[in-house]
Amino acid sequence: MKIIELKRNGDNMKTDIFGMMFFKMSKKHTKRIMGYEATRPFWHFFDLKAYIIMACMMGGGIGFRAAGIFPDIFIAFFYSGLGCALA
């Protein structure tokens, strides 16, 4: 019983931390999107800053993979963990 309670408290704490980190950004994007008066193309969903961040992160990931900086076992665990976290 105690283990289940601890797991639930840990999950709530993770959710709270995630919420605090992204709440401000979420509010900003929601306000901007709801302010659109007409139908917009899908690429207007994010602002320029968000696209620049995505490009840097994707470029960095591709660059690290191409340069062979990290061993394949690290890459396998990293992508597995990332996939589970996003599921």
**Distance spanning both ends of the chain, measured CA to CA:** 27
Q: Tell me how many domains the chain contains.
A: 2
Mark whether 57 and 23 lie in a shared domain: no
CA distance 35 to 83: 33
Mark whether 38 and 52 lie in a shared domain: no
What is the rounded average pLDDT of the residues 16-24?
72
Q: What is the pLDDT of residues 63-81, one digit of tens each?
A: 988 999 989 899 889 889 8
Residue 10 has pLDDT above 90, yes or no: no
Residue 30 has pLDDT above 60, yes or no: yes
Domain containing 1 equals 1-44
Residue at token pair 């992160």: 57
Mark whether 58 and 25 lie in a shared domain: no
Mark whether 33 and 16 lie in a shared domain: yes
pLDDT of the residue at 53: 92
Closest Cα partner for 22 from 50, 56, 59? 50
Q: Distance between alpha carbon 34 and the CA centroid of its chain, in Å?
A: 22
